[in-house]
Structure 1
Amino acid sequence: MSSGVSTSTDKIIVDRSRSHRNKAVSKAVRATRERLQSSANGSHVFDRDMLAMHVNAVLHGASIMPLVVALVTAIGIYLNPDARLFGWALVMLCLHGVNVLLARRAGRKDFTALETTKWRRRFLVAQVLIGCGWAIFALQDCAACSGDSFYFYKGTVLLFAVSISAMSSFMLRQGVLVGFLPTVASLLVTAVSSGHILDIGLTAACATAVVFFHYVADRLYRSNLTLMSYQSEKDDLIAELEVAKSMSDEARRRAEEANLAKSRFLASMSHELRTPLNAILGFSEVMSSEVLGPLANPTYREYSGDIHRSGQHLLDLINEILDLSRIEAGRYELSEESLSLLEVAEDCIGMVQLRASAKNITIREQFEKQLPQVWADEKAIRQVILNLLSNAVKFTPQGGEITVKVGWTAGGGQYLAIKDNGPGIPEEEIPVVLSAFGQGSIAIKSAEQGTGLGLPIVQAILAKHDGQFILRSKLREGTEAIAILPSTRVLQTVPAVAEATAVERRRRSFA
């Protein structure tokens, strides 16, 4: 019972909690897209964000306005000792307090689209109230002041107030223009009623300043809107990347699950199939060789030989599949030792010589003599050479020729090349032949079809040796397979006699 539970647990490799985490990411993607696509011109998409920024600006700059009012009142009292300035300062502080309280109340709410419009209107009304406070200041006069000092003082204060308002409320669109309309109106009334040139100039300067700073605030608003749009698009892309990464992780986990299931299946198949196959091969060999006595019917002897050959072929296929599975799983370990590539090649040629002779195929050897030994896995290298020789014998026609070369590479390594004069492989089919279970059109039409695992196994074994496999082929000209071992695998030794001679020569030169 416990084993069944553990097996079922092992099969559940996919992280099932990831789907719940993906829902939040997908929701963020949908929300961002809806926000970007909810308006045709995109001008009202970020109204809620801009209003939230205005609320934060009001709350963070709440202490600036009282300082400005105190400074303006102190300078005004110095120029004109009039108690009316204290009343104006009290009114301004109250209006500013209303604006701050409104911002605090708005900061505790999560706006909807309809509420955003309502709160925006409320903040515009608050700006108008503050503008009325500055209008009251604009109506102040100084009968006891000499010269134009009070006009200069009033104009400087109003321009400073317009600039502060533009910088602090540019996130509230048209806040500067609407807020200072009462101020400009009061100055205009004063200028019309008095007709004084200084009043007219002050009105024109203040109106020009309001228009200019409204233009500056509008440009800042649009720039900030563009930056927020880029930020939203970036967030959208990041969210989509998160979704793609999550899907990729899910696919990788499923692939790992499938690979684990495949490895378990192949391990089970290795045990379950090899045991009866050994019995089939053993008994069929006993029957075909007539160890226990002659078979009365010669057809039975032929059938037992067919059983043995078919069983051996099936065992070879199973071994190839298991080899490729171990290579893909990274469990193909090399048992390295020093060996002679020439000797291994000669042994493999002797093993396929009988099959080649049956097809009247000539195998020519072109070996460079006195090659040093290499550091490699003898069983793996033997498998490489046998696979390449078997393919060459399989696809070489009757009376053909196979050339086997062993020698040095230009980089100091060693190579083995096997070339036949068979039908060849079309150039576009070479990648197919080198892939697992891939077979070319010539192999499919051939009577001796295999699994298509020989060349991928060869390529993987050479890669484990840091080597290289090259396949060259042309139609009706034949195929050449080249296995290359790097120079790091070559065991180059220096004779001890030569070293002793060099040491003796250096000793004599010093003497």
Structure 2
Amino acid sequence: MSTGVSTSTDKIIVDKSRSLRNKAVTRTVRATRERLQTATGNSPGFEREMLQLHIDSAVQGALAVPVVVMLIAAVGLYLTQDATLLAWAVLALSMHAIGMLVARRARGKDITGEIVHRWQRRFLATQFLMGIAWAVFALQDCSQCSGVSFEFYKGSSLLVALAVTAMGTLMLRHAILCAFGPTVVALAVSTLLHPEPATVGMTAIVAAALVFLVFMTRRLRHTSAQLLSSQSEKDDLIAELEVAKAMSDEARRRAEEANLAKSRFLASMSHELRTPLNAILGFSEVMSTEVLGPLNNPVYKEYTSDIHRSGQHLLNLINEILDLSRIEAGKYDLSEESVHLVDIAEDCIGMVQLRARAKNITITEQVESDMPAVWADEKALRQVILNLLSNAVKFTPQGGEVTVKAGWTAGGGQYVSIKDNGPGIPEEEIPVVLSAFGQGSIAIKSAEQGTGLGLPIVQAILAKHNGEFILKSKLREGTEAIAILPAKRVLQSLPAVSETQAVAPRRKSFA
């Protein structure tokens, strides 16, 4: 009966556009890292963002300056009854209107990094025009007023205007200097021409306030730049995490496809290779035992033995690969029953005894008597002990010795230890031999090379039993492999279940 699967689902379909997407992802990650490494408060990106904040602030607070100008003009008219203040108010409002027109025009534009400085200069020019208006106000005079009262009025008005301008132009560098630099110059010239105490005091106060506000706005602007930098770094990190997640998802998808292809290949190999191998093993065994008649040429009989031995080696290799793939896929199920660890060890010793005698190797048993049964998979434990014994016999030299021990662990479990006096394994190579298809330098030089799957399978089987595998080795002294089963696997260590304890949960489950 055919069990074929559609080739369209068996094949891994390669998306040729995927390489282009990976290049784009790589460029994105590189650009993001460069931004994270070079981002500072003075970068063009932050200048653009600060200019945008200034534009939004100017448009939203468009009425602040006109209100201040109208209040100053109204108070001035009340104090001086001089209509020139109305002319000044019209001049100031006109300068402010020019600034608002520039702000509204900039708001509708997409300001890129190349033209940021151009727009900054335009805004600074509008602030300078507004500064001329404030300088004209600072030069106003009142012949009918007392000097102290009018100078107090002008100084208070300039301080209020200075504070309002500082708040409105916080995100625009040097704006406060452009707006009130002309005013301070005008007051200084007026002081030099008319060095009256009130004028000198007002000039000193306005100049000191300007210096203080320049310092404060610079600090606040630096703090804002740091906040923008933190926000930008957070956004970049989020973007890089998203890119990394996308790459991880793509890698996981590829790994799943590769694992699926491997599983299908192994299933196909199991069916397509094991069937002819069984025929090869069977016919070669029939020929080597001469069941159907003698072979006239003794060389042919030797060849049939070689065929049988090679086929058996290939079948063992296939079985090990299939076992490891089932374990990795989580489909290696245990068939647990009550078994005796010592009996299994003795059976395995009998299986390898012939090979040991061929190399004049002595196998010594040291087992504790009256050990209770354990709850485990007999076939799996037999595979564990047989793999360890086969390795010991394989790497033990002619006339060597292999010692098999079985007994209790300190925690109440049971163990089997297999120790040889072979060449040993270098300490740095132990992790290698415990990995799939890993072989140490001694195994690579050996005439009886294996697949490198025996020890990983042993580890996995013991892990399925909640046990432990320990490999100890010293170069030129030998190797000891210890397979440990936990105490909860020992049947004698489990307390007896009384009849009432057995019935009570059952009644509770039916409730």
Taking structure 1 as the reference length, the TM-score comes to: 0.85
Distance change >3 Å, CA 110–CA 27, structure 1 → 2: farther
What SS does the corresponding residue of 1:398 show, helix, strand or coil?
coil
Distance (whole Å) between structure 1 residues aligned to residue 167 and residue 238 of structure 2: 32
Q: Does 1:418 align with 2:421?
A: no
Distance change >3 Å, CA 332–CA 63, structure 1 → 2: farther
Distance (whole Å) between structure 1 residues aligned to residue 78 and residue 247 of structure 2: 72
Instruction: Check the 8 A contact 2:280/2:308 in 1, yes or no.
Output: yes
Distance (whole Å) between structure 1 residues aligned to residue 388 and residue 36 of structure 2: 63
Q: Which moved more, 1:468-477 or 1:79-88?
A: 79-88
Instruction: Check the 8 A contact 2:147/2:198 in 1, yes or no.
Output: no
Structure 1: which amino acid aligns with 2:6?
A: S
Structure 1: which amino acid aligns with 2:13?
A: I
Residue 166 of structure 1 is matched in structure 2 by: 166
Residue 385 of structure 1 is matched in structure 2 by: 385
Distance (whole Å) between structure 2 residues aligned to residue 49 and residue 496 of structure 1: 75
Instruction: Check the 8 A contact 2:44/2:113 in 1, yes or no.
Output: no
Distance change >3 Å, CA 51–CA 393, structure 1 → 2: same
Distance change >3 Å, CA 423–CA 188, structure 1 → 2: closer
Distance (whole Å) between structure 2 residues aligned to residue 468 and residue 353 of structure 1: 26
Residue 342 of structure 2 is matched in structure 1 by: 342
Residue 175 of structure 2 is matched in structure 1 by: 175
Residue 4 of structure 1 is matched in structure 2 by: 7
Distance (whole Å) between structure 1 residues aligned to residue 119 and residue 347 of structure 2: 92
Q: Does 1:493 align with 2:467?
A: no
Structure 2: which amino acid aligns with 1:6?
A: T
Shift of 1:471: 0.7
Distance (whole Å) between structure 1 residues aligned to residue 497 and residue 218 of structure 2: 89
Residue 444 of structure 2 is matched in structure 1 by: 444
Instruction: Check the 8 A contact 1:348/1:386 in 2, yes or no.
Output: yes
Distance (whole Å) between structure 1 residues aligned to residue 440 and residue 486 of structure 2: 29
Instruction: State the Cα deviation string for residues 404-463 of structure 1 (Å, max 9, x = none).
Output: 222222223222111112222222222222122222232223222211111111112222
1:198-347 matches, within 5 Å, as: 198-229=198-229, 232=232, 239=239, 242-347=242-347
What SS does the corresponding residue of 1:423 show, helix, strand or coil?
coil
What SS does the corresponding residue of 1:450 show, helix, strand or coil?
coil
Distance change >3 Å, CA 196–CA 42, structure 1 → 2: closer
Instruction: Check the 8 A contact 1:26/1:239 in 2, yes or no.
Output: no
Q: Does 1:398 align with 2:401?
A: no
Distance change >3 Å, CA 369–CA 47, structure 1 → 2: same
Distance change >3 Å, CA 112–CA 147, structure 1 → 2: closer
Instruction: State the Cα deviation string for residues 2-58 of structure 1 (Å, max 9, x = none).
Output: 9333334xx13779569548737735853884898799x966664333322221221
Instruction: Check the 8 A contact 1:29/1:239 in 2, yes or no.
Output: no
Residue 188 of structure 2 is matched in structure 1 by: 188
Residue 503 of structure 1 is matched in structure 2 by: none
1:139-150 matches, within 5 Å, as: 139-143=139-143, 145=145, 148-150=148-150
What SS does the corresponding residue of 1:180 show, helix, strand or coil?
helix
Shift of 1:317: 1.0
Distance change >3 Å, CA 191–CA 178, structure 1 → 2: same
Q: Which moved more, 1:196-205 or 1:140-149?
A: 140-149
1:86-125 matches, within 5 Å, as: 86-125=86-125
Instruction: Check the 8 A contact 1:473/1:480 in 2, yes or no.
Output: yes
Q: Which moved more, 1:221-230 or 1:320-329?
A: 221-230
Residue 26 of structure 1 is matched in structure 2 by: 27
Instruction: Check the 8 A contact 1:462/1:468 in 2, yes or no.
Output: yes
Shift of 1:380: 1.5
Taking every aligned residue pair, what percent have the same amino acid on both sides?
63
Instruction: Check the 8 A contact 2:423/2:442 in 1, yes or no.
Output: yes
Instruction: Check the 8 A contact 2:188/2:203 in 1, yes or no.
Output: yes
Structure 2: which amino acid aligns with 1:347?
A: D
Distance change >3 Å, CA 190–CA 24, structure 1 → 2: farther
Distance (whole Å) between structure 1 residues aligned to residue 382 and residue 195 of structure 2: 113
Distance (whole Å) between structure 1 residues aligned to residue 494 and residue 271 of structure 2: 44
Distance (whole Å) between structure 2 residues aligned to residue 428 and residue 419 of structure 1: 19
Instruction: Check the 8 A contact 2:417/2:483 in 1, yes or no.
Output: yes
Distance change >3 Å, CA 357–CA 6, structure 1 → 2: closer
Taking structure 2 as the reference length, the TM-score comes to: 0.85
Shift of 1:274: 0.6
Instruction: Check the 8 A contact 1:47/1:116 in 2, yes or no.
Output: yes
Distance (whole Å) between structure 2 residues aligned to residue 495 and residue 28 of structure 1: 63
Distance (whole Å) between structure 2 residues aligned to residue 392 and residue 476 of structure 1: 14
- What root-mean-square deviation, in Å, do the aligned CA atoms of Structure 1 and Structure 2 show? 3.5
Residue 505 of structure 2 is matched in structure 1 by: none
Distance change >3 Å, CA 370–CA 67, structure 1 → 2: farther
Distance (whole Å) between structure 2 residues aligned to residue 3 and residue 21 of structure 1: 30
Instruction: Check the 8 A contact 2:127/2:178 in 1, yes or no.
Output: yes
Instruction: State the Cα deviation string for residues 348-405 of structure 1 (Å, max 9, x = none).
Output: 2222223223333332222233333333322221111110011112222333322222
Distance change >3 Å, CA 132–CA 147, structure 1 → 2: closer
Residue 508 of structure 1 is matched in structure 2 by: none
Instruction: State the Cα deviation string for residues 165-211 of structure 1 (Å, max 9, x = none).
Output: 22321322211111112322333344344432101221222122223
Gaps of 5+ in 2: 502-511
Instruction: Check the 8 A contact 2:469/2:483 in 1, yes or no.
Output: yes
Shift of 1:124: 0.8
Instruction: Check the 8 A contact 1:363/1:402 in 2, yes or no.
Output: yes
What SS does the corresponding residue of 1:473 show, helix, strand or coil?
strand
Residue 472 of structure 1 is matched in structure 2 by: 472
Shift of 1:282: 1.2
Distance (whole Å) between structure 1 residues aligned to residue 447 and residue 255 of structure 2: 35
Distance change >3 Å, CA 134–CA 271, structure 1 → 2: same
Distance (whole Å) between structure 2 residues aligned to residue 210 and residue 450 of structure 1: 86
Aligned residues between the structures: 496
